[in-house]
């Protein structure tokens, strides 16, 4: 066990965690294509509805809301965040304000800050090696005192297991409203930091 831990620490010696910059956009888009292909091969169509688009990543990075991990210069993990619950979960809802209230109530919200996790992805060849956990743990350590919210596509069972292992609460399938062009069902997942 100690040998495996030493190997993981050695492998992370070449890794850099940083805020994404505009010059990283092309590498992030390549990462997204690798992740999308891997998901589609596994029968997961979460990224098959025109989301995420290149401009989503450009906006994340341009607004300083994205972090990534590079290993030997290659972007191997990425995440972005937002504070807009309506735009994140209910952009097509006519009664978005009441839906946000219901969502926050379900999560036990008591008035502290909240963050929405978006576009968290790890290169398929780097999955199950600690990179995603390292990125998410570092990100969460910067947000103490906030409620972290995210949605997980219903076909993404490995992702649900990952969040459960990190002590996130699964609130079940939630009625998010992205419009008629996105028929997906998603779980609401949250954690107080």
pLDDT digits (tens, 9 = 90+) for 174-183: 887 776 666 5
33 pLDDT band, cuts 50/70/90, is very high
CA distance 49 to 45: 8
Q: What is the pLDDT of residue 174?
A: 86
Q: What is the pLDDT of residue 127?
A: 92
pTM: 0.84
How many separate domains does the chain show? 1
Q: What is the pLDDT of residue 166?
A: 95
15 pLDDT band, cuts 50/70/90, is low
Q: What is the pLDDT of residue 99?
A: 87
pLDDT in tens, 92-131: 777 888 888 998 999 999 888 999 999 999 999 999 999 9
| Mean pLDDT (the chain, rounded) | 86
Q: Give the range of the structural domain holding residue 90, as residue numbers without chain letter.
A: 2-192
Dihedral angle computed from the Cα positions of residues 80, 53, 132 and 20, in that order, rounded to the nearest 10 degrees:
-50
CA angle 27, 66, 123 (to 5 degrees): 45
Query: Closest Cα to residue 78, out of 25, 7, 115?
Result: 25
What is the rounded average pLDDT of the residues 24-46? 91
Output the domain CATH number for residue 103: 3.40.630.30
Half-sphere exposure of 38 (CA within 13 A, CB side): 14
Q: What is the pLDDT of residue 8?
A: 47
Q: What is the pLDDT of residue 182?
A: 62
Dihedral angle computed from the Cα positions of residues 190, 82, 77 and 178, in that order, rounded to the nearest 10 degrees:
80
What is the rounded average pLDDT of the residues 68-78? 92
């Amino acid at each position: 066990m100690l040998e495996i831990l030493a190997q993981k620490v050695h492998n992370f010696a070449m890794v850099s965690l940083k805020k994404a910059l505009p010059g990283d956009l092309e590498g992030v888009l390549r990462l997204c294509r690798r992740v999308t292909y891997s998901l589609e091969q596994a029968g997961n169509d979460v990224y098959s509805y025109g989301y995420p688009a290149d401009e989503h990543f450009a906006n994340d990075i341009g607004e300083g809301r994205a972090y990534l991990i590079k290993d030997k210069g290659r972007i191997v993990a990425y995440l972005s965040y937002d504070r807009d619950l309506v735009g994140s979960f209910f952009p097509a809802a006519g009664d978005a304000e009441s839906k946000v209230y219901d969502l926050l109530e379900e999560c036990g919200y008591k008035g502290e800050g909240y963050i929405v996790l978006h576009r968290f992805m790890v290169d398929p060849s780097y999955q199950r090696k600690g990179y995603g956990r390292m990125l998410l743990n570092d990100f969460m350590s910067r947000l103490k005192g906030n409620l972290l919210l995210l949605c997980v596509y219903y076909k993404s069972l490995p992702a649900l297991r990952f969040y459960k292992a990190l002590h996130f609460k699964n609130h079940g399938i939630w009625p998010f409203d992205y419009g008629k062009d996105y028929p997906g069902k998603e779980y609401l997942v949250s954690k107080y930091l």
